[in-house]
Structure 1
Amino acid sequence: MEPVSMRGSLLVATPAIDDGPFRRSVVFLLDHDEEGALGVIVNRPLDSGVEEVLPEWGGAVDAPGCLFDGGPVAMDSALAVGVVDGFDVPPQGWRHMSGHIGLVDLDGPVPAHGVLRGLRVFAGYAGWSAGQLEEEIDEGAWLVVEARDHDVVSPCPDLLWAQVLRRQRDELRLWATFPDDPTLN
């Protein structure tokens, strides 16, 4: 039986992941099928500005105008995710992923002002082999929740983990109150 695709969903790390790059992370799943999954961590801004690595793209990204740590795989490569308002014809260099979110070709021209509602550039990505993500979810490491377009370009990425949990309508929202360091509680 083919697994149900979680493409376009958010993975929210539970306190079971208590260290490393995924601690309190929010991952947008760009792709998920029987061969595995690929996503980007959307709440890990880096100290480097986009213009330091991709000068022509520095003015096109949303605040904060920095690179984001997309995940521990291929940290020496860049990946851009853009949000559009809607379209009859997709913008040049934009490839639909889910909802109004798509990948943006960094080798192509910088989109004209107003073409994208939001843009982020990620160094690296998160990847899982076949069945690996499903195992981690079963073990309680991840919560799978609905993504909103603005999650991938949130102006306050440091608050995104708690914000995404707080907006849930069931007991998942209680995770938002989990202390950063439970030993100090």
Structure 2
Amino acid sequence: MSSSMRVSKGSLLIAKPFLGDPNFERGVILMCEYNDQGSFGFVLNQVTDLYLGDVLEETIYQDVPLHLGGPVEKNTLHFIHRRPDLITGGSEIMNGVFWGGDFNHLKTLLNFNTVSHNDIRFFIGYSGWGGGQLEDELNQDSWIVTQTSADFLFGTHPGNFWREILRSMGGEYRSIANYPTDPRHN
């Protein structure tokens, strides 16, 4: 895996320690779309203090945590999942990971415990870039680009995601994973 990889739908963008944008500090973003007009994705490792039931009028019996998908349109709700056998209508963004689908049916599946919160991630807002904007950030060496598996994505605790994905890449990335949040306290 290499930071010289090209960005594509399903890629991960890993914020370098000195990115300088508090919205993405030590962030890992799953790219859901990438083209000449722009791109968008969801920050995988910023969990809020809210649960799905907190933002819906209907009752959701499972405590499904909400993630902050990014700084854009924080009044929108999105989800990714790995259960296309149960959640229809989603769009595959990488092998085994789907964006969206039949939300009304999903709420029923959650309430009957047919779908576990381990198979789904909900996001408030998203991360987006206009045409050429992400390329400028990549040229400034702000991001590391890599791929991962659905199992790693859903099986890694969000609080450990940035460090664990870098460690899994090995080499120089393993060193970056151990970089202190504030080097002055080193």
- Name stretches of at least 5 consecutive residues in structure 2 with no aligned partner: 1-5
1:135 aligned counterpart, secondary structure = helix
Q: Tell me: CA distance 1:155–1:167, structure 2 relative to 1, closer, same or farther (3 Å).
A: closer
8 A contact 1:83–1:116 mirrored in 2 = no
Count of aligned positions:
175
Could you tell me how far 1:173 is from its partner in structure 2?
2.1
1:166 aligned counterpart, secondary structure = helix
Partner residue, 1:175 = 176
8 A contact 1:82–1:116 mirrored in 2 = no
Deviation digits for residues 135-173 of structure 1, max 9, x if unmatched?
A: 111111100011221344345111110000000033222
Q: What CA distance in whole angstroms lies between the structure 2 residues aligned with 1:116 and 1:158?
A: 16
Partner residue, 1:16 = 18
TM-score under structure 1 length normalisation: 0.84
Partner residue, 2:134 = 133
Q: What CA distance in whole angstroms lies between the structure 2 residues aligned with 1:154 and 1:121?
A: 15
8 A contact 2:28–2:44 mirrored in 1 = yes
Which residue identity lines up with residue 109 of structure 1 in the other structure? Answer: H
Give the aligned CA root-mean-square deviation in angstroms: 2.4
8 A contact 1:28–1:147 mirrored in 2 = no
Q: Which runs of 4+ in 1 moved over 6 A?
A: none
Q: Which structure dedicates a bigger proportion of its chain to helix?
A: 2
- Name stretches of at least 5 consecutive residues in structure 1 with no aligned partner: none
Identical pairs, percent:
26
Q: What CA distance in whole angstroms lies between the structure 1 residues aligned with 2:102 and 2:61?
A: 12
Deviation digits for residues 60-111 of structure 1, max 9, x if unmatched?
A: x7xxx31100000010000011113x76xx8423222211111123643126
Does 2:45 correspond to 1:46? no
Q: Tell me: CA distance 1:78–1:106, structure 2 relative to 1, closer, same or farther (3 Å).
A: farther
Deviation digits for residues 38-62 of structure 1, max 9, x if unmatched?
A: 1000000000111111345552x7x
Partner residue, 2:92 = 96
Partner residue, 1:166 = 167
Q: How does 1:69-80 map to 2 (within 5 A)?
A: 69-80=68-79
Q: What CA distance in whole angstroms lies between the structure 1 residues aligned with 2:60 and 2:156?
A: 18
TM-score under structure 2 length normalisation: 0.83
Which residue identity lines up with residue 8 of structure 2 in the other structure? Answer: M
